[in-house]
């Protein structure tokens, strides 16, 4: 019988009290839902369907998942059937991780068990701290994170262990350790001493503790927790697809996560929230907002934080985040920043709503992260810290019903070309 997710994870975590009952849970098994083979059916191979050209794969369904559902036209995002707004308002990141990995909400004992297992894996090897010290202080944070995620595999005895159960244990380590990598790289480049993780804190509190060297207020920790929930998963986006392509080759989970981080780094995917903050800094004051935005609109230039490849309605992740951003901006003395953002939204919606252009999650997450004291060039790392749970969950779904992902390319070059000797060219 296949061992449950938490059984697999907790087996190697003696710090978790043995009296906590282990829930009988498994990751969603896609293979189990496949129809039984009919012995009377012909075994003659079917004629392959003619391939179609779908540039960008926007109209191609390449995988199945039970983790998240998106209806871009209606502005819907659900994690395992639960709308994202409810999760942002009432859940925690740890509970959301459990939901994504087990396709159900945990009871109190199950949530304690997962939280304890994560906390016991916060720390990173001393060799990784030494590696961070060797990095140039001018390094781009996403370059550093990509390298460090890969390096974690050097120190995991299960790095190349086959099987779903080993991948589940590695998934927990990656989610737990990524905040430690990001926070301590930032401290290194700022000339500050490392701060070791505190295993009594939840993930959001622990990250801000390591980043700033002091325990955050409850409101600040909750602000980060909300952002982590909102970014945890989002269907078969570019980085998730890249991770599934890698794991489908039966490579290891560290390689798949390195692929995902590298993909997320691209400005067309994960870098938008950084660009939003850069835009707000460039505008500078409320008096300059309208002229700046109108000039962008007249020039038909992109306004960062608006529009989405999938959503043609208001991004459901931005709905509650907008409300929360206002509160955290008020609490931290950054209300002007929020008011500028709100004014930009009003102008853009008036001009572009009929074309399906609305704020996306990056627009108000930029204000939130800034109010939490997180540097602008760390914003995409924050995205990766959250999405690590979704990436890992998708990879395990892929392994449960794996097939190598191998699309075709449409050849547009010549045929029958003659080879010409070098001396005659």
Active site residues: 308, 362
Which residue is it, tokens 């920043």?
Answer: 337
Angstrom CA distances, 369 to 131, 159, 221, 344, stand at 27, 33, 11, 18
DSSP string, 155-192: G-TTTT--SHHHHHHHHHHHHHHHHHHHHHHHHHHTT-
CA pair distance 130, 414, nearest whole angstrom: 52
Strand partners, 83: 78
Whether 369 contacts 227, CB under 8 Å: yes
Whether 289 contacts 279, CB under 8 Å: no
Closest to 310 measured CA to CA, from 240, 354, 358 = 358
CA pair distance 278, 318, nearest whole angstrom: 19
CA pair distance 237, 96, nearest whole angstrom: 19
The whole-angstrom distance between residue 50's C-alpha and the CA centroid of its chain comes to: 34
Whether 3 contacts 166, CB under 8 Å: no
Cα atoms in the Cβ-side hemisphere of radius 13 Å centred on 212: 16
Name the token pair of 229. Answer: 């929930």
305 three-state secondary structure: coil
């Amino acid at each position: 019988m296949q061992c449950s997710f938490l059984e697999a994870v907790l087996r190697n975590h003696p710090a978790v009290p043995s009296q906590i009952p282990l829930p009988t849970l498994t990751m969603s098994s896609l293979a189990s839902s496949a129809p039984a083979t009919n012995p009377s059916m012909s075994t003659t191979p079917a004629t392959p369907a003619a391939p179609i050209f779908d540039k960008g794969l926007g109209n191609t369904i390449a995988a199945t998942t039970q983790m998240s559902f998106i209806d871009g036209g209606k502005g819907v995002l659900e994690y395992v059937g639960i709308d994202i707004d409810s999760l942002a308002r009432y859940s925690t990141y740890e509970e959301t991780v459990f939901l994504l990995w087990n396709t159900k909400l945990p009871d109190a004992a199950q949530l304690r068990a997962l939280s304890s297992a994560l906390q016991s894996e916060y720390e990173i090897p001393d060799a990784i701290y030494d590696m961070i010290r060797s990095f140039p202080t001018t390094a781009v944070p996403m370059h550093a994170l990509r390298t460090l995620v890969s390096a974690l595999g050097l120190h995991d005895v299960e790095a190349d262990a086959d099987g779903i159960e080993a991948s589940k244990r590695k998934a927990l380590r990656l989610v737990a350790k990524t905040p430690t990598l990001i926070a301590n790289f930032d401290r290194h480049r700022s000339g500050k001493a490392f701060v070791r993780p505190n295993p009594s804190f939840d993930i959001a509190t622990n990250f801000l503790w390591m980043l700033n060297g002091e325990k955050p207020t409850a409101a600040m920790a909750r602000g980060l927790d909300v952002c982590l929930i909102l970014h945890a998963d989002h269907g078969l986006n570019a980085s998730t697809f890249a991770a599934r392509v890698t794991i489908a080759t039966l490579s290891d989970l560290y390689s798949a996560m390195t692929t995902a981080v590298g993909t997320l780094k691209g400005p067309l995917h994960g870098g938008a929230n950084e660009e939003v903050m850069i835009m707000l800094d460039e505008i500078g004051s409320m008096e300059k907002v309208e002229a700046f935005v109108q000039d962008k609109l007249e020039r038909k230039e992109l306004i960062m934080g608006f529009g989405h490849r999938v959503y043609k309605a208001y991004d459901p992740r931005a709905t509650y985040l907008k409300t929360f951003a206002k509160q955290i901006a008020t609490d931290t003395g950054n209300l002007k920043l929020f008011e500028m953002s709100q004014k930009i939204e009003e102008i853009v919606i008036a001009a572009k709503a009929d074309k399906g252009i609305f704020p996306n999650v990056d627009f108000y997450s930029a204000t939130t992260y800034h109010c939490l004291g997180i540097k602008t060039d760390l914003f995409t790392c924050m995205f990766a810290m959250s999405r690590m749970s979704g990436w890992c969950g998708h990879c395990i779904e892929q392994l449960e019903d794996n097939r190598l992902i191998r699309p075709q390319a449409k050849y547009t070059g010549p045929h029958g070309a003659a080879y010409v000797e070098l001396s005659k060219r």
